[in-house]
A and B are shown apart, each in its own frame.
Chain A
Protein backbone atom coordinates (compact mmCIF):
# COMPACT_ATOMS: atom_id res chain seq x y z
CA UNK A 1 0.00 0.00 0.00
CA UNK A 2 2.70 2.41 1.12
CA UNK A 3 4.84 1.26 -1.79
CA UNK A 4 2.08 1.80 -4.25
CA UNK A 5 1.51 5.35 -3.01
CA UNK A 6 5.22 6.05 -3.15
CA UNK A 7 5.47 4.77 -6.71
CA UNK A 8 2.56 6.94 -7.72
CA UNK A 9 4.30 9.87 -6.06
CA UNK A 10 7.47 9.22 -8.06
CA UNK A 11 5.51 8.95 -11.28
CA UNK A 12 3.58 12.12 -10.50
CA UNK A 13 6.84 13.98 -9.93
CA UNK A 14 8.09 12.86 -13.32
CA UNK A 15 4.84 14.02 -14.86
CA UNK A 16 5.55 17.46 -13.40
CA UNK A 17 8.44 17.83 -15.85
CA UNK A 18 5.96 17.30 -18.66
CA UNK A 19 3.57 19.83 -17.15
CA UNK A 20 6.38 22.33 -16.65
CA UNK A 21 7.39 22.07 -20.29
CA UNK A 22 3.81 22.37 -21.45
CA UNK A 23 3.31 25.33 -19.13
CA UNK A 24 6.42 27.01 -20.49
CA UNK A 25 5.36 26.59 -24.08
CA UNK A 26 1.83 27.73 -23.23
CA UNK A 27 3.02 30.83 -21.38
CA UNK A 28 5.48 31.85 -24.06
CA UNK A 29 3.29 31.12 -27.07
CA UNK A 30 0.12 32.48 -25.50
CA UNK A 31 1.64 35.84 -24.69
CA UNK A 32 3.45 36.08 -28.03
CA UNK A 33 0.28 35.72 -30.07
CA UNK A 34 -0.56 39.44 -30.00
CA UNK A 35 2.61 40.46 -31.71
CA UNK A 36 2.45 37.58 -34.18
CA UNK A 37 -1.11 38.54 -35.09
CA UNK A 38 0.00 42.12 -35.58
CA UNK A 39 3.02 41.48 -37.82
CA UNK A 40 2.96 37.79 -38.64
CA UNK A 41 5.72 35.49 -37.38
CA UNK A 42 8.01 36.15 -40.30
CA UNK A 43 7.19 39.85 -40.33
CA UNK A 44 8.20 40.11 -36.67
CA UNK A 45 11.40 38.14 -37.12
CA UNK A 46 12.58 39.91 -40.26
CA UNK A 47 11.84 43.48 -39.18
CA UNK A 48 14.86 45.35 -37.84
CA UNK A 49 12.83 48.27 -36.52
CA UNK A 50 12.25 48.49 -32.74
CA UNK A 51 10.45 51.66 -31.85
CA UNK A 52 8.52 51.70 -28.55
CA UNK A 53 7.33 55.33 -28.80
CA UNK A 54 3.56 55.11 -28.64
CA UNK A 55 2.92 57.29 -31.69
CA UNK A 56 5.09 55.30 -34.08
CA UNK A 57 5.09 51.99 -32.21
CA UNK A 58 6.74 49.21 -34.19
CA UNK A 59 8.43 46.01 -33.08
CA UNK A 60 10.77 43.68 -34.94
CA UNK A 61 13.30 41.18 -33.60
CA UNK A 62 15.76 41.07 -36.47
CA UNK A 63 18.39 43.44 -35.00
CA UNK A 64 18.51 41.41 -31.81
CA UNK A 65 18.73 38.10 -33.63
CA UNK A 66 21.71 39.42 -35.55
CA UNK A 67 23.19 40.95 -32.41
CA UNK A 68 22.85 37.62 -30.61
CA UNK A 69 24.39 35.60 -33.43
CA UNK A 70 27.18 38.12 -33.78
CA UNK A 71 28.22 38.11 -30.11
CA UNK A 72 27.74 34.37 -29.61
CA UNK A 73 29.65 33.19 -32.65
CA UNK A 74 32.47 35.65 -32.11
CA UNK A 75 32.62 34.53 -28.47
CA UNK A 76 32.71 30.90 -29.60
CA UNK A 77 35.55 31.68 -31.98
CA UNK A 78 37.49 33.44 -29.25
CA UNK A 79 36.88 30.65 -26.78
CA UNK A 80 38.24 27.78 -28.93
CA UNK A 81 41.97 28.65 -28.70
CA UNK A 82 41.66 28.57 -24.92
CA UNK A 83 39.17 25.83 -24.20
CA UNK A 84 40.71 23.32 -26.61
CA UNK A 85 44.17 23.57 -25.02
CA UNK A 86 42.55 23.23 -21.60
CA UNK A 87 40.79 20.08 -22.82
CA UNK A 88 44.05 18.68 -24.23
CA UNK A 89 45.91 19.62 -21.06
CA UNK A 90 43.40 17.83 -18.82
CA UNK A 91 42.26 15.01 -21.10
CA UNK A 92 45.49 14.12 -22.86
CA UNK A 93 48.80 15.60 -21.72
CA UNK A 94 48.19 15.55 -17.97
CA UNK A 95 45.27 13.15 -17.81
CA UNK A 96 44.76 11.93 -14.26
CA UNK A 97 47.60 14.05 -12.86
CA UNK A 98 47.29 16.41 -9.89
CA UNK A 99 48.08 19.45 -12.04
CA UNK A 100 45.14 18.66 -14.31
CA UNK A 101 42.67 18.50 -11.45
CA UNK A 102 44.02 21.87 -10.33
CA UNK A 103 43.60 23.40 -13.79
CA UNK A 104 40.13 21.96 -14.23
CA UNK A 105 38.98 23.16 -10.80
CA UNK A 106 40.19 26.66 -11.55
CA UNK A 107 38.54 26.70 -14.97
CA UNK A 108 35.35 25.25 -13.49
CA UNK A 109 35.22 28.07 -10.98
CA UNK A 110 34.83 30.42 -13.94
CA UNK A 111 31.42 28.82 -14.42
CA UNK A 112 30.51 29.66 -10.83
CA UNK A 113 31.04 33.40 -11.12
CA UNK A 114 27.67 35.16 -11.52
CA UNK A 115 26.96 36.84 -14.81
CA UNK A 116 26.57 40.20 -13.10
CA UNK A 117 30.10 40.00 -11.66
CA UNK A 118 31.41 39.27 -15.17
CA UNK A 119 29.55 42.37 -16.23
CA UNK A 120 31.26 44.45 -13.56
CA UNK A 121 34.65 43.06 -14.52
CA UNK A 122 33.99 43.77 -18.17
CA UNK A 123 32.81 47.28 -17.39
CA UNK A 124 35.54 48.37 -15.00
CA UNK A 125 38.55 46.35 -16.13
CA UNK A 126 38.13 45.38 -19.77
CA UNK A 127 36.24 48.40 -21.10
CA UNK A 128 39.15 50.81 -20.50
CA UNK A 129 41.43 48.35 -22.32
CA UNK A 130 39.03 48.15 -25.23
CA UNK A 131 38.97 51.95 -25.42
CA UNK A 132 42.76 51.92 -25.22
CA UNK A 133 42.85 49.50 -28.14
CA UNK A 134 40.88 52.03 -30.12
CA UNK A 135 37.99 49.69 -30.88
CA UNK A 136 35.49 52.47 -30.23
CA UNK A 137 35.16 55.57 -28.10
CA UNK A 138 32.97 54.20 -25.30
CA UNK A 139 34.26 50.67 -25.21
CA UNK A 140 30.74 49.20 -25.18
CA UNK A 141 29.64 46.93 -27.97
CA UNK A 142 29.82 43.54 -29.64
CA UNK A 143 33.59 43.29 -29.19
CA UNK A 144 33.60 43.81 -25.43
CA UNK A 145 30.57 41.57 -24.88
CA UNK A 146 32.06 38.77 -26.94
CA UNK A 147 35.33 38.79 -25.01
CA UNK A 148 33.50 38.45 -21.70
CA UNK A 149 31.16 35.81 -23.15
CA UNK A 150 34.16 33.87 -24.42
CA UNK A 151 35.62 33.72 -20.91
CA UNK A 152 32.23 32.70 -19.52
CA UNK A 153 31.82 29.72 -21.85
CA UNK A 154 35.40 28.37 -21.60
CA UNK A 155 34.49 26.07 -18.69
CA UNK A 156 31.43 24.66 -20.50
CA UNK A 157 33.34 23.95 -23.71
CA UNK A 158 36.45 22.59 -22.02
CA UNK A 159 35.00 20.34 -19.33
CA UNK A 160 32.86 18.34 -21.74
CA UNK A 161 35.63 18.16 -24.36
CA UNK A 162 38.00 16.94 -21.67
CA UNK A 163 35.60 14.16 -20.82
CA UNK A 164 35.42 12.97 -24.42
CA UNK A 165 39.18 13.24 -24.97
CA UNK A 166 39.95 11.22 -21.89
CA UNK A 167 37.58 8.49 -23.09
CA UNK A 168 39.79 7.74 -26.11
CA UNK A 169 41.04 4.21 -25.41
CA UNK A 170 44.66 3.95 -24.43
CA UNK A 171 45.28 0.92 -26.63
CA UNK A 172 44.55 2.99 -29.73
CA UNK A 173 47.02 5.62 -28.66
CA UNK A 174 49.63 2.96 -27.90
CA UNK A 175 49.00 1.48 -31.33
CA UNK A 176 49.77 4.83 -32.92
CA UNK A 177 52.85 5.39 -30.77
CA UNK A 178 54.13 1.94 -31.70
CA UNK A 179 54.06 3.00 -35.34
CA UNK A 180 56.42 5.86 -34.55
CA UNK A 181 54.02 8.77 -34.03
CA UNK A 182 54.78 11.70 -31.73
CA UNK A 183 52.25 12.80 -29.13
CA UNK A 184 50.91 15.65 -31.23
CA UNK A 185 50.53 13.26 -34.18
CA UNK A 186 48.60 10.87 -31.98
CA UNK A 187 46.40 13.78 -30.93
CA UNK A 188 45.88 14.91 -34.52
CA UNK A 189 45.27 11.52 -36.09
CA UNK A 190 43.74 9.48 -33.27
CA UNK A 191 42.50 11.40 -30.23
CA UNK A 192 40.86 14.39 -31.91
CA UNK A 193 39.12 12.35 -34.65
CA UNK A 194 37.90 9.86 -32.01
CA UNK A 195 36.56 12.62 -29.77
CA UNK A 196 35.46 14.92 -32.58
CA UNK A 197 31.71 14.42 -32.24
CA UNK A 198 31.86 14.96 -28.50
CA UNK A 199 34.01 18.03 -28.87
CA UNK A 200 31.68 19.47 -31.51
CA UNK A 201 28.73 18.77 -29.21
CA UNK A 202 30.42 20.55 -26.32
CA UNK A 203 30.98 23.63 -28.46
CA UNK A 204 27.37 23.56 -29.59
CA UNK A 205 26.27 23.50 -25.96
CA UNK A 206 28.70 26.30 -25.14
CA UNK A 207 27.17 28.29 -28.00
CA UNK A 208 23.76 27.70 -26.43
CA UNK A 209 25.07 29.17 -23.18
CA UNK A 210 26.41 32.23 -24.98
CA UNK A 211 23.13 32.82 -26.83
CA UNK A 212 21.15 33.12 -23.62
CA UNK A 213 23.64 34.98 -21.41
CA UNK A 214 21.92 38.05 -20.12
CA UNK A 215 23.39 40.27 -17.43
CA UNK A 216 26.98 40.58 -18.56
CA UNK A 217 25.90 41.28 -22.12
CA UNK A 218 23.27 43.76 -21.02
CA UNK A 219 25.92 45.69 -19.11
CA UNK A 220 28.45 45.69 -21.94
CA UNK A 221 26.81 45.66 -25.34
CA UNK A 222 25.73 49.31 -25.40
CA UNK A 223 21.99 48.63 -25.70
CA UNK A 224 21.18 50.23 -29.04
CA UNK A 225 18.30 48.92 -31.14
CA UNK A 226 20.09 48.60 -34.45
CA UNK A 227 21.64 45.89 -36.56
CA UNK A 228 25.28 45.95 -35.48
CA UNK A 229 27.44 46.97 -38.43
CA UNK A 230 30.50 45.19 -37.15
CA UNK A 231 32.47 44.13 -34.10
CA UNK A 232 33.11 47.75 -33.12
CA UNK A 233 29.43 48.61 -33.13
CA UNK A 234 26.99 48.56 -30.24
CA UNK A 235 23.74 46.61 -30.33
CA UNK A 236 21.43 44.41 -28.29
CA UNK A 237 20.96 40.68 -28.01
CA UNK A 238 17.63 38.95 -27.59
CA UNK A 239 18.40 38.41 -23.91
CA UNK A 240 19.63 41.94 -23.29
CA UNK A 241 16.62 43.64 -24.88
CA UNK A 242 14.35 41.62 -22.62
CA UNK A 243 16.40 42.48 -19.52
CA UNK A 244 16.47 46.13 -20.49
CA UNK A 245 12.90 46.76 -21.42
CA UNK A 246 10.77 44.15 -19.67
CA UNK A 247 10.33 46.17 -16.51
CA UNK A 248 8.38 49.02 -18.03
CA UNK A 249 6.69 47.02 -20.78
CA UNK A 250 3.01 46.38 -21.37
CA UNK A 251 0.65 45.83 -24.28
CA UNK A 252 2.21 45.04 -27.62
CA UNK A 253 5.72 45.73 -26.38
CA UNK A 254 5.36 43.13 -23.61
CA UNK A 255 4.07 40.66 -26.17
CA UNK A 256 7.02 41.46 -28.46
CA UNK A 257 9.51 40.88 -25.64
CA UNK A 258 7.86 37.58 -24.70
CA UNK A 259 7.94 36.59 -28.36
CA UNK A 260 11.69 37.21 -28.32
CA UNK A 261 11.86 35.02 -25.22
CA UNK A 262 9.95 32.31 -27.12
CA UNK A 263 12.42 32.62 -29.99
CA UNK A 264 15.32 32.28 -27.59
CA UNK A 265 13.66 29.21 -26.07
CA UNK A 266 13.17 27.61 -29.48
CA UNK A 267 16.75 28.32 -30.54
CA UNK A 268 18.23 26.85 -27.37
CA UNK A 269 15.93 23.83 -27.67
CA UNK A 270 17.13 23.25 -31.24
CA UNK A 271 20.76 23.64 -30.19
CA UNK A 272 20.23 21.14 -27.39
CA UNK A 273 18.68 18.72 -29.84
CA UNK A 274 21.53 19.07 -32.35
CA UNK A 275 24.12 18.52 -29.62
CA UNK A 276 22.28 15.34 -28.61
CA UNK A 277 22.21 14.10 -32.21
CA UNK A 278 25.92 14.72 -32.61
CA UNK A 279 26.67 12.86 -29.40
CA UNK A 280 24.49 9.96 -30.47
CA UNK A 281 26.63 9.69 -33.57
CA UNK A 282 29.61 9.40 -31.29
CA UNK A 283 28.04 6.50 -29.44
CA UNK A 284 27.58 4.70 -32.77
CA UNK A 285 31.31 4.66 -33.59
Chain B
Protein backbone atom coordinates (compact mmCIF):
# COMPACT_ATOMS: atom_id res chain seq x y z
CA UNK B 1 0.00 0.00 0.00
CA UNK B 2 1.34 3.30 -0.85
CA UNK B 3 0.40 6.72 0.15
CA UNK B 4 1.16 9.93 -1.55
CA UNK B 5 3.61 12.16 0.23
CA UNK B 6 1.99 15.13 1.88
CA UNK B 7 1.88 18.17 -0.30
CA UNK B 8 3.32 21.51 0.83
CA UNK B 9 3.28 20.64 4.51
CA UNK B 10 -0.47 20.35 4.95
CA UNK B 11 -2.09 17.86 7.33
CA UNK B 12 -4.42 15.31 5.73
CA UNK B 13 -8.10 16.25 6.09
CA UNK B 14 -9.30 12.70 5.65
CA UNK B 15 -7.48 9.57 6.71
CA UNK B 16 -8.57 6.06 5.87
CA UNK B 17 -6.94 3.36 8.00
CA UNK B 18 -7.49 -0.30 7.14
CA UNK B 19 -11.03 0.32 5.98
CA UNK B 20 -12.96 -2.81 5.02
CA UNK B 21 -16.60 -2.94 4.03
CA UNK B 22 -18.69 -6.04 3.42
CA UNK B 23 -22.27 -6.56 2.26
CA UNK B 24 -22.30 -10.22 3.19
CA UNK B 25 -20.17 -11.62 6.00
CA UNK B 26 -16.80 -12.86 4.81
CA UNK B 27 -16.99 -11.15 1.43
CA UNK B 28 -15.23 -7.83 1.43
CA UNK B 29 -16.36 -5.29 -1.13
CA UNK B 30 -13.68 -2.93 0.15
CA UNK B 31 -10.61 -4.67 1.48
CA UNK B 32 -8.25 -3.02 3.93
CA UNK B 33 -7.90 0.37 2.28
CA UNK B 34 -5.63 2.98 3.81
CA UNK B 35 -5.01 6.45 2.37
CA UNK B 36 -4.51 10.06 3.38
CA UNK B 37 -6.35 12.77 1.51
CA UNK B 38 -5.15 16.34 1.63
CA UNK B 39 -7.22 19.51 1.76
CA UNK B 40 -8.08 21.46 -1.38
CA UNK B 41 -7.33 18.61 -3.73
CA UNK B 42 -9.44 16.60 -6.09
CA UNK B 43 -8.94 12.88 -5.64
CA UNK B 44 -10.32 10.55 -8.26
CA UNK B 45 -11.17 6.96 -7.44
CA UNK B 46 -11.05 4.74 -10.52
CA UNK B 47 -11.46 1.10 -11.22
CA UNK B 48 -13.59 -1.38 -13.13
CA UNK B 49 -17.23 -1.67 -12.06
CA UNK B 50 -17.65 -3.76 -8.94
CA UNK B 51 -14.20 -2.82 -7.64
CA UNK B 52 -15.64 -1.17 -4.54
CA UNK B 53 -15.02 2.46 -5.43
CA UNK B 54 -18.58 3.63 -4.75
CA UNK B 55 -18.77 1.43 -1.69
CA UNK B 56 -15.67 3.08 -0.27
CA UNK B 57 -16.98 6.57 -1.03
CA UNK B 58 -20.34 5.85 0.62
CA UNK B 59 -18.49 4.47 3.63
CA UNK B 60 -16.89 7.84 4.26
CA UNK B 61 -20.17 9.55 5.12
CA UNK B 62 -21.74 6.48 6.70
CA UNK B 63 -24.37 5.95 3.99
CA UNK B 64 -24.01 2.24 4.71
CA UNK B 65 -25.72 2.80 8.07
CA UNK B 66 -28.98 2.82 6.12
CA UNK B 67 -28.57 -0.84 5.29
CA UNK B 68 -28.08 -2.93 8.42
CA UNK B 69 -26.36 -5.81 6.65
CA UNK B 70 -23.41 -3.67 5.54
CA UNK B 71 -20.45 -3.83 7.93
CA UNK B 72 -17.65 -1.27 8.00
CA UNK B 73 -14.42 -1.85 9.94
CA UNK B 74 -11.21 0.13 10.33
CA UNK B 75 -10.89 3.82 11.04
CA UNK B 76 -11.83 6.90 9.09
CA UNK B 77 -10.66 10.26 10.42
CA UNK B 78 -12.26 13.44 9.16
CA UNK B 79 -10.41 16.48 10.52
CA UNK B 80 -8.97 14.25 13.19
CA UNK B 81 -12.31 12.87 14.39
CA UNK B 82 -13.23 9.24 13.95
CA UNK B 83 -16.14 9.13 11.53
CA UNK B 84 -17.24 5.65 12.58
CA UNK B 85 -17.82 6.65 16.20
CA UNK B 86 -19.25 10.09 15.52
CA UNK B 87 -22.90 10.95 15.18
CA UNK B 88 -23.81 9.91 11.61
CA UNK B 89 -25.89 13.05 11.09
CA UNK B 90 -22.88 15.23 11.88
CA UNK B 91 -20.60 13.17 9.65
CA UNK B 92 -22.94 13.54 6.70
CA UNK B 93 -23.07 17.29 7.09
CA UNK B 94 -19.26 17.44 7.19
CA UNK B 95 -18.97 15.16 4.18
CA UNK B 96 -21.56 16.16 1.58
CA UNK B 97 -22.52 13.75 -1.16
CA UNK B 98 -23.53 14.10 -4.79
CA UNK B 99 -25.06 11.06 -6.46
CA UNK B 100 -24.90 9.49 -9.88
CA UNK B 101 -28.50 10.35 -10.71
CA UNK B 102 -29.37 13.99 -10.05
CA UNK B 103 -31.91 13.83 -7.22
CA UNK B 104 -33.42 17.25 -6.51
CA UNK B 105 -36.42 16.89 -4.20
CA UNK B 106 -39.44 17.06 -6.53
CA UNK B 107 -41.80 18.42 -3.90
CA UNK B 108 -39.58 21.43 -3.21
CA UNK B 109 -38.91 24.59 -5.19
CA UNK B 110 -35.41 25.36 -6.44
CA UNK B 111 -35.01 27.78 -3.56
CA UNK B 112 -36.10 25.20 -1.00
CA UNK B 113 -33.93 22.56 -2.59
CA UNK B 114 -30.83 24.63 -1.93
CA UNK B 115 -31.93 25.08 1.68
CA UNK B 116 -33.06 21.46 2.07
CA UNK B 117 -30.04 20.63 4.22
CA UNK B 118 -31.08 23.28 6.68
CA UNK B 119 -34.76 22.41 6.80
CA UNK B 120 -34.00 18.69 7.03
CA UNK B 121 -31.65 19.34 9.94
CA UNK B 122 -34.24 21.49 11.65
CA UNK B 123 -32.17 24.66 11.45
CA UNK B 124 -34.21 27.85 11.29
CA UNK B 125 -32.81 30.78 9.33
CA UNK B 126 -33.86 34.37 8.82
CA UNK B 127 -35.09 35.43 5.39
CA UNK B 128 -31.93 37.43 4.73
CA UNK B 129 -29.69 34.56 5.72
CA UNK B 130 -31.65 32.20 3.50
CA UNK B 131 -31.42 34.50 0.49
CA UNK B 132 -27.73 34.88 1.08
CA UNK B 133 -27.07 31.15 1.30
CA UNK B 134 -29.19 30.40 -1.78
CA UNK B 135 -27.47 33.07 -3.86
CA UNK B 136 -23.98 32.09 -2.76
CA UNK B 137 -24.55 28.39 -3.27
CA UNK B 138 -26.13 28.81 -6.68
CA UNK B 139 -23.41 31.23 -7.75
CA UNK B 140 -20.73 28.76 -6.77
CA UNK B 141 -22.24 26.20 -9.14
CA UNK B 142 -22.84 28.82 -11.84
CA UNK B 143 -26.57 28.25 -11.74
CA UNK B 144 -27.63 31.57 -10.23
CA UNK B 145 -28.04 33.45 -13.48
CA UNK B 146 -30.02 30.61 -15.04
CA UNK B 147 -32.54 30.17 -12.24
CA UNK B 148 -32.71 33.40 -10.29
CA UNK B 149 -36.04 34.31 -11.88
CA UNK B 150 -37.63 30.88 -11.45
CA UNK B 151 -36.71 30.23 -7.82
CA UNK B 152 -40.20 29.06 -6.96
CA UNK B 153 -40.38 26.47 -9.69
CA UNK B 154 -39.80 22.86 -8.85
CA UNK B 155 -36.25 21.59 -9.16
CA UNK B 156 -37.41 18.72 -11.33
CA UNK B 157 -38.21 21.11 -14.21
CA UNK B 158 -34.52 21.83 -14.80
CA UNK B 159 -32.39 20.00 -17.33
CA UNK B 160 -30.29 17.06 -16.14
CA UNK B 161 -27.10 19.10 -15.94
CA UNK B 162 -28.82 21.93 -14.12
CA UNK B 163 -30.39 19.45 -11.72
CA UNK B 164 -27.00 18.02 -10.89
CA UNK B 165 -25.58 21.48 -10.28
CA UNK B 166 -28.55 22.21 -8.05
CA UNK B 167 -27.71 19.07 -6.08
CA UNK B 168 -24.12 20.23 -5.75
CA UNK B 169 -25.37 23.63 -4.56
CA UNK B 170 -27.63 21.91 -2.04
CA UNK B 171 -24.60 20.08 -0.67
CA UNK B 172 -22.35 23.15 -0.67
CA UNK B 173 -24.99 25.18 1.17
CA UNK B 174 -24.22 23.20 4.32
CA UNK B 175 -20.53 24.18 4.05
CA UNK B 176 -19.12 20.65 4.20
CA UNK B 177 -15.42 19.88 4.72
CA UNK B 178 -15.35 17.24 2.04
CA UNK B 179 -17.41 16.79 -1.11
CA UNK B 180 -18.01 13.15 -2.05
CA UNK B 181 -19.12 12.66 -5.64
CA UNK B 182 -20.32 9.30 -6.92
CA UNK B 183 -19.95 9.37 -10.72
CA UNK B 184 -21.70 12.75 -10.81
CA UNK B 185 -21.51 13.15 -14.57
CA UNK B 186 -22.22 9.63 -15.80
CA UNK B 187 -25.89 10.45 -16.40
CA UNK B 188 -25.14 13.73 -18.17
CA UNK B 189 -24.37 14.88 -21.69
CA UNK B 190 -20.82 16.01 -22.61
CA UNK B 191 -21.59 19.73 -22.40
CA UNK B 192 -23.09 19.46 -18.92
CA UNK B 193 -20.21 17.22 -17.92
CA UNK B 194 -17.74 19.77 -19.10
CA UNK B 195 -19.47 22.48 -17.12
CA UNK B 196 -19.40 20.47 -13.92
CA UNK B 197 -15.75 19.57 -14.38
CA UNK B 198 -14.88 23.25 -14.71
CA UNK B 199 -16.90 23.91 -11.60
CA UNK B 200 -15.03 21.32 -9.57
CA UNK B 201 -11.68 22.86 -10.51
CA UNK B 202 -12.90 26.12 -9.03
CA UNK B 203 -14.52 24.56 -6.00
CA UNK B 204 -11.38 22.86 -4.82
CA UNK B 205 -10.11 26.24 -3.61
CA UNK B 206 -12.70 26.00 -0.81
CA UNK B 207 -13.40 22.29 -0.54
CA UNK B 208 -11.74 18.93 -0.70
CA UNK B 209 -13.28 16.78 -3.40
CA UNK B 210 -13.29 13.03 -3.81
CA UNK B 211 -14.84 11.84 -7.04
CA UNK B 212 -15.58 8.32 -8.12
CA UNK B 213 -15.40 8.01 -11.88
CA UNK B 214 -15.28 5.25 -14.44
CA UNK B 215 -14.05 7.77 -16.92
CA UNK B 216 -10.27 7.77 -17.06
CA UNK B 217 -9.96 10.94 -19.08
CA UNK B 218 -12.14 12.74 -16.56
CA UNK B 219 -9.79 11.67 -13.80
CA UNK B 220 -6.86 12.84 -15.86
CA UNK B 221 -8.48 16.19 -16.63
CA UNK B 222 -9.46 17.28 -13.16
CA UNK B 223 -7.86 15.28 -10.39
CA UNK B 224 -4.67 16.04 -8.47
CA UNK B 225 -4.35 12.54 -7.12
CA UNK B 226 -5.81 9.24 -8.23
CA UNK B 227 -6.63 5.96 -6.63
CA UNK B 228 -6.95 2.77 -8.59
CA UNK B 229 -9.03 0.07 -7.00
CA UNK B 230 -9.39 -3.54 -8.09
CA UNK B 231 -11.46 -6.27 -6.43
CA UNK B 232 -11.91 -4.17 -3.32
CA UNK B 233 -8.26 -3.38 -2.87
CA UNK B 234 -6.55 -0.07 -3.32
CA UNK B 235 -3.89 -1.05 -5.82
CA UNK B 236 -2.30 2.29 -6.35
CA UNK B 237 -2.68 5.79 -4.99
CA UNK B 238 -0.54 8.46 -6.52
CA UNK B 239 -0.25 11.85 -8.06
CA UNK B 240 -2.49 11.71 -11.12
CA UNK B 241 0.17 12.75 -13.63
CA UNK B 242 2.54 10.15 -12.29
CA UNK B 243 -0.06 7.45 -12.27
CA UNK B 244 -1.04 8.08 -15.86
CA UNK B 245 2.53 8.37 -17.09
CA UNK B 246 4.34 5.89 -14.87
CA UNK B 247 1.96 3.46 -13.19
CA UNK B 248 3.71 1.52 -10.46
CA UNK B 249 1.59 -1.62 -10.74
CA UNK B 250 0.90 -3.94 -13.58
CA UNK B 251 -2.84 -3.95 -12.87
CA UNK B 252 -2.98 -0.18 -13.01
CA UNK B 253 -1.16 -0.17 -16.28
CA UNK B 254 -3.45 -2.78 -17.73
CA UNK B 255 -6.49 -0.78 -16.64
CA UNK B 256 -5.17 2.49 -17.98
CA UNK B 257 -4.26 0.93 -21.30
CA UNK B 258 -7.66 -0.63 -21.59
CA UNK B 259 -6.82 -4.28 -21.15
CA UNK B 260 -9.90 -4.55 -18.92
CA UNK B 261 -12.45 -2.28 -17.32
Residues of A within 8 A of B (CB): 169, 171-172, 174-182, 185-186, 189-190, 193-194, 196, 285
Contact = CB atoms under 8 A, between A and B. Distances in A.
Contacts, number: 68
Interface string B81-116: 000000001101100110101010111000000001
A178 B105 contact: no
B174 interface: yes
A176 B92 CA distance: 10
Contacts of B105: 172, 175-176, 189-190
Size category of the binding interface on chain B: 20 to 34
A171 B63 contact: no
Nearest to B100: A171
Interface of B: 61, 63, 66, 89-90, 92-93, 96-97, 99, 101, 103, 105-107, 116-117, 119-122, 156, 167, 170-171, 174
Nearest to B121: A180
Given A175-B103, A175-B167, A194-B106, 15 more contacts: A171-B101, A172-B105, A174-B103, A176-B105, A176-B116, A178-B61, A178-B63, A178-B99, A179-B93, A179-B116, A179-B120, A181-B121, A189-B105, A189-B116, A193-B107
Contacts of A174: 63, 66, 99, 103
Given A172-B106, A194-B106, A178 B92 contact: yes
A178 to B, nearest CB: 4
Contact of A172 (B103, B119, B121, B122): B103
A177 B103 CA distance: 12
Contacts of A285: 106-107, 156
Contacts of A196: 107
A278 to B, nearest CB: 15
A215 B85 CA distance: 58
A71 B144 CA distance: 53
A95 to B, nearest CB: 12
Q: Majority SS of interface residues in chain A?
A: helix
21 contacts: A171-B99, A171-B101, A171-B103, A172-B105, A175-B99, A175-B105, A175-B167, A177-B92, A178-B99, A179-B117, A180-B174, A181-B89, A182-B89, A185-B120, A189-B105, A189-B116, A189-B120, A190-B105, A193-B107, A194-B106, A285-B106
**The 10 residue pairs across chains A and B that have the minimum distance between CB atoms:** A178-B97, A181-B120, A193-B107, A179-B117, A180-B93, A175-B103, A180-B92, A180-B89, A171-B103, A180-B121
A178 B89 CA distance: 8
A185 B89 CA distance: 11
A189 B90 CA distance: 18
A169 to B, nearest CB: 8
Contacts of A181: 89, 120-121
Contacts of A177: 63, 66, 92
Contact of B96 (A169, A172, A179): A179
A199 to B, nearest CB: 13
A212 B250 CA distance: 75
A285 B108 CA distance: 11
